[in-house]
Chain A
Amino acid sequence: MKDCFALLGVPQRPLLDEKGLKSAYFRLAAECHPDAEGGDTDKFRELQEAYQTLKDPVFRLRHLAGVVFDSLGDSSRPSPQSDLFLQVGQVLQATKAFRLRREKSQSALARAVMISEGVKVREELGAVTEAVEQALREARVALGLLDKRWPRVAPEELLTLASGWRYLTRWQTELSGAEFGLMLEA
């Protein structure tokens, strides 16, 4: 297994300094970009892959578990925080239904009547988004704690945090996409 930390010349840790990582990436990219003298497309693609892996906490934690502990975890994923999962599902479905109805609407009056409903849908979306963001803030705190204890950390701890985080970022993307669509079509 290749070591993305070594490739970018950054420490093997759960928490990375974002600016330092980006700076290392830019420096190496300038050297191996195919446009540069002595550059190499395959080398650049590898750098690119490594940077994507380390930039994202989910991929980084998994990669760390793999490189340091040779552990990829079992394939059965722990289930997400179920109450939040339900909330996210419900509000996304409600938003989708509302957007569809508004898109099909044929009269100015019906659209005007829907405006206050739209405001309500947006408020609900906002509330769930806030809950997801709160959970993400907690995940960031947990990451900081893992980093403090490093390397006295079990690989399962890395993988559990990564998997919970993955759900949260996915939901965040979907929620912000829904909110964006709601705003843009209005």
Chain B
Amino acid sequence: MIVGIDLGTTNSLIGAMDAGFPVLFADKDGGRLTPSLVFIPDEGEPVAGRQAAQHAEAIFSVKRQMGNAKVESNREGGLLKKAIAPEEVAAVILKKLKADAERASGQPVERAVITVPAYFNEAQRAATKRAGELAGFTVERLLSEPTAAALAYGLDRLGEKSKVAVYDFGGGTFDVSVLELGEGVFHVLSTHGDTHLGGDDLDAALAAKFGISRAEAADGKKDPSGAGFSESDFSATCLSIIERTRGHCLRSLHDAGLKAGDIEEVILVGGVTRMPLVREFVREVFGREPNLSQHPDEAVALGAVIQAGILDGSVQNVTLLDVTPLSLGIETFGGLMNVLIPRNTTIPCKAGEMFTNAAIHQEAMKISILQGEREMAADNWKLGEFSIPFTPAARGLVRIGVQFELDANGLLHVLGRDVATGDDITFAIRSAVEVSDEAVEKMLADSLEHAFEDMDDRQFVEAGLKADEMLPAVDTALQRLGSAVTGEEREAVAAWVEKVTEAREARSLRRLKAALGGLDAATEPLAARLVEAVMDGKL
């Protein structure tokens, strides 16, 4: 038996196929949801789930720290007494789920499919796999969460051909995937997301806005009027977070080569999608009523169970073609990233490139492996750096092949080959990409050295830049709007412009800031009118 596990930011679930159907297991308290909380006592066994919830110092949302070297803080924001890796904390949750499954099914459980956010990078995926291994599992597959949700949605619709989007807004992560379903094939076309955007951010924003604790905010958002939140403040605060998912949806459609109108169903999963505000937002972005057929908390776990069924043969005639969310490549001449495997490539896959030596006496070639979408190598995640040794030869004669292989888990294996000798070197990818403390300190020291000596100087320069931008903009705006500006408004703006000029001459930071603030306020109605005029096509 292979189990399917949804290792969530807020809650985790486990299940298995039973007589052809995906089933989730309940723990001894009868609950299928295990809170993703871990308490590590000074002495004795760590505990997870409801048992850990009783302790104020429990660690929460460890999923958001996967891929880091160590866990930063506990629920109360207090620093941990001893260093512990996020995967060790996640392993405590997985161990508890394993015990629940063993009790419920009456048999030992060793093999598992574990879900990860689609947008998890190499380090975050590797850490999740490691967590499973620490809990005593053989991790048969890491499965992307929106893909899992699509499996749960599509299993009883195998005959239908359709294009769907999965909008997965969970406790700590957001993903959106676009899939093509048909002929028993689940073909992921594109995926996008943010591994640090979820219900936690909503809670934090609400807590800050209304001056309450995160726990109170989490409860309050289920019933905003009951919690005494003013409706407009509540909507505005939440929308500022929800709005951040828009770009990911649009990019995902763009990468799939589709328009919102091409999507036949938008499937909602993840606890946050219970909020009416989120549903309304999705309706607006995709221009259609969202599909609520899936259980927000359980669909991903059910999908993991179905994937487990595909692997052990209990689910047949289903093929899943998933993709890698992020481009993989190497650093090349001039500090640029050379992409070997572009994002949204179907996995498993491989790609390679040949390199030659640049000098006679060269004995090795340094290869930096990168993941990300930015043009400059330095702006992407560096997964590792390797040196491939070879026998020196005349320039251009040595031929080194570098091959990238992505497995079905989305994990990377790199192979270097000296073509002349046929020697292969396989590289292991380091499991945490986080830079060491010393490296961070050095970066900080460097940046301080180059910073302005005096904070005031720097602020004055910045304010000056803003003035440089605003004064010509004021002229242009007044000219373009013409008679649409009242005499009163003109006078007010002119007065603030004069104050800005005076403050600059007097080199007074305080006065310049105040004058710019006044000018900002005085020109606000003009800015709004300009935008309106452009929208109406009058300019």
Contact = CB atoms under 8 A, between A and B. Distances in A.
B408 A34 contact: yes
B256 interface: no
B473 A35 contact: no
B520 interface: yes
Contacts of A116: 534, 539
A140 B319 CA distance: 33
A41 B407 CA distance: 8
Contacts of B477: 109, 112-113
Contacts of B251: 180, 184
A111 B527 contact: yes
A23 B180 CA distance: 13
A107 B520 contact: yes
Contacts of B345: 52
A26 B185 contact: yes
Contacts of A180: 250-251, 254
B348 A112 contact: no
A180 to B, nearest CB: 6
B469 A107 contact: yes
Contacts of B539: 116
Contacts of A45: 348-350, 405
Interface in A34-75: 34-37, 41, 44-45, 48-49, 52
Contacts of B44: none
Contacts of A33: 319-321
A29 B470 CA distance: 59
A115 interface: yes
> Which range contains the number of A residues in contact with the other chain?
20 to 34
B313 A112 contact: no
Given A26-B183, A41-B408, A109 B319 contact: no
Interface in B489-539: 520, 523-524, 526-528, 530-531, 534, 539
Majority secondary structure, A binding face: helix
A110 interface: yes
A132 to B, nearest CB: 16
B458 to A, nearest CB: 15
B365 interface: no
Contact of B530 (A30, A44, A112): A112
Given A108-B523, A108-B524, A113 B350 contact: no
Nearest to B537: A119
A110 B470 contact: yes
Contacts of B348: 34, 41, 44-45, 48
A27 B183 CA distance: 9
Interface string B328-351: 000000000000000001101110
B247 A184 contact: yes
Contacts of B307: 35
Contact of B534 (A105, A106, A119): A119
Contact of B319 (A36, A41, A52, A184): A36
B350 A112 contact: no
A109 B473 CA distance: 7
B245 to A, nearest CB: 13
B466 interface: yes
B310 interface: yes
Given A30-B185, A35-B408, A115-B534, A110 B473 contact: yes
Given A34-B348, A35-B408, A41-B408, A106 B465 contact: yes
Contacts of A105: 469
A112 B526 contact: yes
Interface in B438-486: 465-466, 469-470, 473-474, 476-477, 480
A23 to B, nearest CB: 7
Contacts of A23: 183
Contacts of B247: 184
Contacts of A27: 183
Contacts of B531: 112, 115
B473 A113 contact: yes
B321 A29 contact: yes
Contacts of A48: 346, 348-349
A26 B350 contact: no
A35 to B, nearest CB: 5
B397 to A, nearest CB: 17
Given A33-B319, A41-B407, A107 B466 contact: yes
7 contacts: A45-B405, A108-B527, A110-B469, A112-B473, A112-B526, A112-B528, A180-B251
Give the 4 A-B CB pairs with smallest separation, nearest first. A112-B527, A112-B530, A110-B473, A109-B523
Interface of A: 23, 26-27, 29-30, 33-37, 41, 44-45, 48-49, 52, 105-113, 115-116, 119, 176, 180, 184
Given A45-B348, A107-B469, 8 more contacts: A26-B319, A30-B185, A30-B317, A109-B523, A110-B469, A112-B477, A112-B530, A113-B480
